[in-house]
Amino acid sequence: MTSRRLKEFLNNNLEDLKDKGLYNVINPVEGPNGPVIQIEGKQLINLSSNNYLGLATDERLINACNEATEKYGVGAGAVRTINGTLDIHIKLEEKLAEFKHTEAAIAYQSGFNCNMAAISAVMDKHDAILSDELNHASIIDGCRLSKAKIIPFKHSDMEDLRAKAGEAQKSGLYNKIMVITDGVFSMDGDIAKLPEIVEIAEEFDLITYVDDAHGSGVLGNGMGTVKHFGLSEKVDFQIGTLSKAIGAVGGYVAGKKDLIDWLKVRSRPFLFSTAITPGTAAACMKAIEILSTSTELQQQMWENSRYLKQGLKELGFNIGESETPITPCIIGDENQTQIFSERLIEEGVYAKSIVFPTVPRGTGRVRNMPTAAHTKEMLDEALRIYKKVGKEMKLI
Ligand SMILES: *Cc1c(COP(=O)(O)O)cnc(C)c1O
């Protein structure tokens, strides 16, 4: 390493994190990220993936991916605007638009990238963005990138949103004003109050932007939070990820044709970063096809979610107010939370602890993600272990 300053910076900061117990050690998964995973040779019931429907390891997606890879190769070869747009990308975008009931859709390399792409393509320093204080990190970064004035509002507090929208409009300082929210909040599993948000948006002429990473494939028969509330006509930007319920990787924006046309000429990750692989595009199309023709996987996911929630609640754990499969088990104290998670892993359940700054201080939790791929036996075994560790630590 040549720079002494860099060396010092890294040493000091890494030491500091390690001293405070905040240095995250990554344990590689030795095989597929299914309902049971292997880590360090040990089989663990997996309650930490975002593989809601089990599609990440679904044979049908694997076959579609393999066939497309045979036909097109492993890479798209270029960015979308040069010659990296393969016909399979266009087909995927058509399918996404159809699935979302919008005029058009545009695919990106990840959900994170959607927020890097879409916000700054439309908003600039003469604009303002009203942003829920619990919005995902990629929304926060996307807002910053746009240079618009960021006005946070209290989490799902519609009075606060209305007041701040009114102030922003009245100030006359801004050309455009956007309201931006997660569809489903990933740490608590609560759903954004979209009907009220849309009403406030209509009152103050706000652009509406919903990042539905955790709602797509989960709510509204899989079509997402916006569909769940019947608001497909009223939301300007619907962001989805192809990396969670859809099981592969990538993201998309669905909306009016004009908006998508604009993103195709002005959003930087579309212009300057290579397109998703053909295998990924094919796997995602297969996933959408499965979701469009059957609700079996969703039903299984919801059934498993209810079962796990009920079980944890009966054991006496605080599982918060989730309205989706996301099931936090709130412990409170950060150290206790870490120990709880470690003990669960030792006993055979992989459920990762989540503490400050990801969630507020004193609300440390272990977050559970039941999926369609879990069997009742797996969930019973997980509950048995929860009971054992909970009693041992005097949490229940
Ligand atoms: C997970 C998540 C993302 C990132 O999606 P990727 O496809 O994994 O990049 C973006 N926004 C929200 C709200 C998310 O929960």
Give the tens place of pLDDT for each residue, 131-187.
Answer: 999 999 999 999 999 999 999 999 999 999 999 999 999 999 999 999 999 999 999
What CATH number has the domain spanning 21-52+295-392? Answer: 3.90.1150.10
360: cis peptide before it, omega within 30°? Answer: no
What CATH number has the domain spanning 57-293? Answer: 3.40.640.10
Residue from 214, 228, 286, 309 carrying the catalytic annotation = 214
Q: Which atom of ligand 1 is nearest to the CA of 249?
A: 7
Question: Which of 116, 132, 133, 138 has most ligand 1 atoms within 8 Å of CB, for mutation?
Answer: 138
Distance 26 CA to ligand 1 centre (A): 19
Is 356's pLDDT higher than 90?
A: no
Question: Which of 52, 112, 216, 249 has most ligand 1 atoms within 8 Å of CB, for mutation?
Answer: 112
Mean pLDDT of 356-373: 92
pTM, two decimal places: 0.96
Q: What is the 3-state secondary structure (H, E, C) of 312-378?
A: HHHHCCECCCCCCCCEEEEEECHHHHHHHHHHHHHHCEECCEECCCCCCCCCEEEEECCCCCCCHHH
d(CA 196, CA 212): 17
d(CA 120, CA 145): 6
Q: What angle do CA 104, 269, 113 make, to 5 degrees?
A: 80
Distance 171 CA to ligand 1 centre (A): 33
Residue from 95, 149, 227, 244 carrying the catalytic annotation = 244
Q: Which amino acid is at 374?
A: H
C-alpha distances out from residue 74 to 71, 281, 367, Å: 9, 11, 35
**pLDDT tens digit sequence for 182-220:** 999 999 999 999 999 999 999 999 999 999 999 999 999
**CB-ligand 1 contact for 225 (6 Å cutoff):** no
**CB-ligand 1 contact for 216 (6 Å cutoff):** no
Confidence category of residue 20, pLDDT binned at 50, 70, 90? confident
Q: Which atom of ligand 1 is nearest to the CA of 182?
A: 13
Instruction: Give burial (CB, 10 Å; 0-12/13-18/19+) of 340.
Output: buried
Is 294's pLDDT higher than 80?
A: yes
Give the residue from 150, 359, 100, 368 showing the smallest Cα distance to 251: 100
Residue 201 pairs in a beta bridge with none
Is 35's pLDDT higher than 80?
A: yes
Would you kindly state where each structural domain of the chain is located, as residue ranges? 21-52+295-392, 57-293
186 is catalytic: yes
244 is catalytic: yes
Confidence category of residue 1, pLDDT binned at 50, 70, 90? low
d(CA 214, CA 296): 18
CB-based burial, 68-88: b 16+ in 10 Å, e otherwise: bbeebeeebeebbeeebbbeb
The proportion of the chain whose per-residue pLDDT surpasses 70, expressed as a percent, equals 99
**CB-ligand 1 contact for 241 (6 Å cutoff):** yes
